Amino acid sequence: MTQIVHATNKIAVLGTGIMGAAIACNLQKNGFNVSAWNRTYEKAKNLEEFGVTVHEYVQDAVSNADIILTMLKDGDSVLKVINSALPSLSKGTIWIQSSTVGITANEQLETFAAENGLKYFDAPVQGTKGPAEQGKLIIIASGPLSDRNTVQSIFDAIGQRTVWVSEQSGMSSKLKLALNSWAFALTHGIAESLSIAKALGVDPSLVIDVVKGGPMDNMYFQLKSTAIISGNYDASFSLDNAVKDSELVIDASKRAGVKVDGVEAGLERFKRAQQAGHGSKDMVATYFAK
Ligand SMILES: NC(=O)c1ccc[n+]([C@@H]2O[C@H](COP(=O)([O-])OP(=O)(O)OC[C@H]3O[C@@H](n4cnc5c(N)ncnc54)[C@H](OP(=O)(O)O)[C@@H]3O)[C@@H](O)[C@H]2O)c1
């Protein structure tokens, strides 16, 4: 197989959690020269077997990188990490910011980029662990027209599709909040439906049987309901991050004058499951909310 060589190919991935690790591997597999950094160095070490160069210090990871991609928990962690990286970043470096940070933090990060001569792309992603590993994410991208070809080659390596939302940063972060509201509604709906069946003494797997192939069926329903029935709560999207993102949705919606009763009730469910010790599990552990 001929290895693709990209014109701009040195990329630093900062944050190698569930999503960042998969993204780093796919970039390396697709001909990019990837260096990675993670707060907990040991967790990133296994990426070396996929050819990724793992650094203990963020400044080492970004020095010589043409492009950096942040995939961290939230706005605060991204700001902290980018600040630490700054002394080793060259002016004109492209910064793809893919963590879900919400509107206010995105504005702060965009301002930071402008003040420090970085070319900023607001590019959260749709899709969870499986699609990330398969290079099938959907990239929700906003940023300047210049450099789009360069960043598109990165998006093509990690995703099945890019939706270009706007030249204006922030629009993607806004769209991501609307999408998360739908993901949370589905997740709670599935968990509650199976809980009700169980509490009423009906086999919960009959819910799956009845829905199968009908208009309420979808791949997400199948995946998450099967996870609950089989007791597999390995995180694709952690419940802790679902709490964070529910709060971002509620905050943005309030400011925009939209009542989001479903997301607010869902946040309470997530929090109850979190307090019961299920925060690091998949968000479908909302099933355990008592
Ligand atoms: N998983 C999904 O399905 C999914 C889908 C779309 C978007 N997202 C979003 O993508 C981002 C990453 O998600 P993920 O699932 O990969 O999360 P994750 O597995 O929880 O990873 C979080 C990453 O952030 C790092 N981090 C956390 N707090 C930090 C801090 N204070 N300083 C520096 N680094 C810090 C973690 O480092 P350590 O390893 O040291 O803890 C880890 O690298 C989140 O914004 C999430 O909302 C996730």
CATH number at residue 58: 3.40.50.720
- Same domain, residue pair 197 and 284: yes
Task: Report how far ligand 1's centroid is from the alpha carbon of 17 (Å).
Answer: 5
Task: Report how far ligand 1's centroid is from the alpha carbon of 18 (Å).
Answer: 7
Q: Token digits for 7?
A: 């014109």
Task: Report how far ligand 1's centroid is from the alpha carbon of 1 (Å).
Answer: 33
- Same domain, residue pair 46 and 130: yes
pLDDT at 290: 87
Best substitution site from 73, 158, 237, 270 to test ligand 1's pocket, by max atoms within 8 Å of Cβ?
Answer: 73
Best substitution site from 46, 57, 72 to test ligand 1's pocket, by max atoms within 8 Å of Cβ?
Answer: 72
Please name the residue that has the structure tokens 């402008």: 114
What stretches of 57-206 adopt beta strand conformation (E)? 67-70, 94-97, 119-122, 125-126, 137-142, 159-166
- Same domain, residue pair 154 and 213: no
- Same domain, residue pair 111 and 247: no
Whether 102 lines ligand 1, by a CB cut-off of 6 Å, is no
Best substitution site from 37, 45, 184, 241 to test ligand 1's pocket, by max atoms within 8 Å of Cβ?
Answer: 241
Three-class SS state of 157: helix
What stretches of 146-202 adopt beta strand conformation (E)? 159-166
Residue 265: which domain range? Answer: 174-288
64 Rama sector, left if φ>0, alpha if ψ -120 to 50, beta otherwise: left
Q: What is the CATH number of the domain that holds 195?
A: 1.10.1040.10
122-146 burial code (b ≥16 CB/10 A, e <16): bbbbbbbbebbbebebbbbbbbeee
Positions marked active-site: 176
Ligand 1 closest atom vs CA 127: 5
- Same domain, residue pair 160 and 51: yes
Ligand 1 closest atom vs CA 240: 20
Residue 3 counted as domain residue: no
Residue 53 counted as domain residue: yes
Residue 5 counted as domain residue: no
Phi, psi of 122 (to 5 degrees): -85, 105
Whether 36 lines ligand 1, by a CB cut-off of 6 Å, is no
Residues in the chain: 290
pLDDT at 1: 45
Whether 241 lines ligand 1, by a CB cut-off of 6 Å, is yes
Radius of gyration over every alpha carbon of the chain, rounded to an integer in angstroms = 20
Whether 133 lines ligand 1, by a CB cut-off of 6 Å, is no
Q: Token digits for 106?
A: 């995105």
Query: pLDDT tens digits for the chain (290 residues)?
Result: 455 556 568 999 999 999 999 999 999 999 999 999 999 999 999 999 999 999 999 999 999 999 999 999 999 999 999 999 999 999 999 999 999 999 999 999 999 999 999 999 999 999 999 999 999 999 999 999 999 999 999 999 999 999 999 999 999 999 999 999 999 999 999 999 999 999 999 999 999 999 999 999 999 999 999 999 999 999 999 999 999 999 999 999 999 999 999 999 999 999 999 999 999 999 999 999 98
Residue among 198, 192, 204, 195 at smallest CA distance from 265: 192
- Same domain, residue pair 48 and 147: yes
Q: What is the DSSP string of 198-223?
A: HHTTS-THHHHHHHTTSTT--HHHHH
Query: How many distinct structural domains can be found in the chain?
Result: 2
Residue 182 counted as domain residue: yes
pLDDT at 5: 53
The residue among 147, 168, 189 that closes a domain is 168
- Same domain, residue pair 143 and 22: yes
**What is d(CA 289, CA 278) in angstroms, rounded to the nearest whole number?**
9
- Same domain, residue pair 182 and 145: no
**What is d(CA 158, CA 140) in angstroms, rounded to the nearest whole number?**
12
Residue 2 counted as domain residue: no
Alpha-carbon separation of residue 215 from 50, 172, 188, 212, 274 (angstroms) = 41, 29, 18, 9, 32
- Same domain, residue pair 126 and 248: no
Global confidence as pTM:
0.96
- Cβ-based neighbour number of residue 242 at 10 Å: 29
Task: Report how far ligand 1's centroid is from the alpha carbon of 239 (Å).
Answer: 12
- Same domain, residue pair 116 and 193: no
